[in-house]
Copies of this chain bind each other. A is one copy, B any other.
């Protein structure tokens, strides 16, 4: 676990992990325990009575937080210190300032210069949208981006689609698979469509290829691409060329892709589709949670509680995965965003000093919305041999205000009943004479509850997870802000692309040039 092994709380926690709290004992899970093990902030209740912890474990985890100086690190992050680095080795050496993208709601922004720049872009966007409204021309927007330029913005749009302007719709193209762009093309009329191309580096293979695709199709219709294309990119990137775009918006090197949803990366598409007011509500929810993440009052610092319980489950109880399961159909792609956020941040092999970890880095994140998952993979999470901790999310009310009473209850009440039942059943299990009907229980889970999935609340959830992930990194002494692990694939892919290019242009290919690449190309050719 990186340097964690040197912290005094570590042996204590290891000892405690030998006999984790037994949730299956008669009466072990009861309302008193559940009430005590709860916290609340930014409209989110955090209930963790169904985790395998008790007060002595929580105390030891708070000691760990103290020793690892987690809150100090988060404050350093939010105030613009260089936290994206590996000491003693070449690394990105960058600030990490996604929180500054929404720090507009107090008189004292924590990193004023960055927030000013961000706000200026937002003002520019606001003016652009006012002019656009006057045109009354554009009904569709296509977000062209991949990874952080796709997953977060897409998940947020889908989660808030119930609040969108009825005259506007967003679409998404990410994959270099040409069928992805072709599918969206079949659904929009390009005459009334904006294309927002999002790439910080301005060189992302998939995104630039799909941009070229849409430029071609616009020209085929006799349209000027410049009237339809928007850019979101870093200043000075190959895409920073306002002569090619109707408008250009900027991001900075201190905004990591997977942390970029509240920057212009998400803002252009979301404000077009939802309107500026709703986007500002969303930012406000995020900003309020950003402040809560700085709280030294550990018992009510929700992201810290989430991070500590995740570390307990992953690094002390050794559960390799975490399922994140919202009981809300609108959050259908939110777990995919969190999968990127967490696994790209904390799926590492070295610590912040460049030494190989002697324990595990972050978990594998996966999941689908409930109740759907109940009819799918829940068999394994109830009775499989690998324990899967679960982070549940639920809402008292639905979004669209349409419901039906069947046999005395609303659908929303049935949805919540299932959520509560799963949390309890996973924890307590059930005995039976028939071995196939035995549930061994002790499957740790926690639940986050809010009144309704609205823009403010979604912003708070986004920031909760962003901070939970960063805090986990600081607890494990991992740099959660780089992604060297994606580089090898890019290098090898470019070598194979060269082989394909030579083949297309009938250039000779040396037998020694990447033989395994040639092998796969031959296999494709012989199909």
Contact = CB atoms under 8 A, between A and B. Distances in A.
Contacts of A493: 414, 417-418, 420-422
Contacts of A402: 178-179, 181-182, 185
13 contacts: A31-B515, A43-B527, A147-B375, A183-B330, A339-B368, A344-B376, A349-B438, A354-B434, A375-B486, A396-B527, A408-B505, A413-B497, A418-B489
Given A350-B435, A403-B178, A375 B430 contact: no
Interface residues of A, number: 159
Copies of the polypeptide in the assembly: 2
A343 B206 contact: no
A519 B420 CA distance: 10
A455 interface: no
Nearest to A514: B424
Contacts of A449: 523-524, 527
B406 A212 contact: yes
A90 B433 CA distance: 10
A500 B410 CA distance: 9
A452 to B, nearest CB: 9
Interface in A139-178: 146-148, 150-151, 161-162, 174-178
Given A31-B515, A371-B146, A375-B257, A496 B421 contact: yes
A295 interface: no
A266 to B, nearest CB: 16
Given A348-B384, A407-B501, A430 B372 contact: no
Contacts of A350: 435-436, 438
Contacts of A212: 404, 406
A332 to B, nearest CB: 9
Of all A-B residue pairs in the complex, the 3 with the closest CB atoms, nearest first, are A347-B380, A147-B375, A421-B492
A415 B485 contact: no
A501 B327 CA distance: 20
Nearest to A43: B527
A300 interface: no
Contacts of A330: 179, 183
Nearest to A517: B420
